[in-house]
A and B are shown apart, each in its own frame.
Chain A
Amino acid sequence: MPFLEVRGLSKSFPSPAGVRHVLRDVTLNVEQGEFVSIVGSMGSGKSTLLSLLAGLTTPDAGTVLLDGAPVTGVRDDAAFVFQNYSLLPWFSALENVRLAVQAAFPGDSAKEQTRRATDALERVGLGNALDRKPRQLSGGMRQRVSLARGFATEPRVLFLDEPFGALDALTRDTLQQDLAQLCAGRERPVTTVMITNSVEEAILLSDRIVPIVAGPPASLGSPIVVELARPRTLAQLAHDEQATHARANVVAALTASLQRRGRSSFNPTTTTLTAAEPAKATGQA
Chain B
Amino acid sequence: MKRLINLLLPLCGIGLALAAWWAASVAVPDLPSPVRTWQESKLYILEPLAKRGESDQGILLLAYYSLLRVARGFLLGIVIATPLGFLLGVSSTLTKMFDPIMQVLRPISPLAWLPLGLVIFQKSEPAALFAIAVCSMWPTVINTMMGVRAIPQDYWNVAKVLRLSRTTTFTKIIVPATLPYMFTGYRLSLGIAWLVIVASEMLTGTPGVGGFLWQEYNSLVYAHILLAIITIGIVGFALDRLMGMAEARLRAS
A: which residues have CB within 8 A of B? 54, 56, 74, 76, 79-80, 82, 84, 86, 88, 90-91, 99-100, 102-104
Contacts and interface: CB of A to CB of B under 8 A. Distances in A.
9 contacts: A82-B154, A88-B172, A88-B176, A90-B253, A99-B168, A103-B163, A103-B165, A103-B168, A104-B163
A222 to B, nearest CB: 30
Contact of A103 (B154, B155, B162): B162
Contacts of B253: 90
A76 B177 CA distance: 25
B163 A56 contact: no
A234 to B, nearest CB: 29
7 tightest A-B CB contacts, nearest first? A80-B161, A90-B176, A86-B154, A103-B162, A100-B162, A86-B158, A103-B164
Contacts of B176: 88, 90
The dominant DSSP class at the B interface is helix
Interface of B: 154-155, 157-158, 160-165, 168, 172-173, 176-177, 253
Contact of B161 (A54, A88, A90, A102): A54
Contacts of A76: 163
Contacts of B165: 103
Contacts of B163: 74, 76, 103-104
Nearest to B253: A90
B154 A99 contact: no
Contacts of A104: 162-163
A99 B172 CA distance: 9
A80 B158 CA distance: 9
A170 B113 CA distance: 65
A88 B174 CA distance: 11
Given A90-B176, A99-B172, A84 B154 contact: yes
Contacts of B158: 86, 88
B155 A56 contact: no
Contacts of B161: 54, 56, 74, 79-80
A131 B154 CA distance: 22
Nearest to A101: B162
Interface centre among B162, B164, B172 (most CB of A within 10 A): B162
A74 to B, nearest CB: 6
B164 A88 contact: no
Contacts of A80: 157, 161
A86 B157 contact: yes
Contacts of A79: 161
A49 to B, nearest CB: 16
Contacts of A100: 162
B154 A56 contact: no
A56 B157 contact: yes
Given A84-B154, A88-B158, A88-B176, 9 more contacts: A54-B161, A56-B161, A74-B161, A80-B161, A86-B155, A88-B155, A99-B164, A103-B165, A104-B163
A103 B172 CA distance: 12
Contacts of B164: 99, 103
B238 to A, nearest CB: 29
A56 B155 CA distance: 13
Nearest to A149: B162
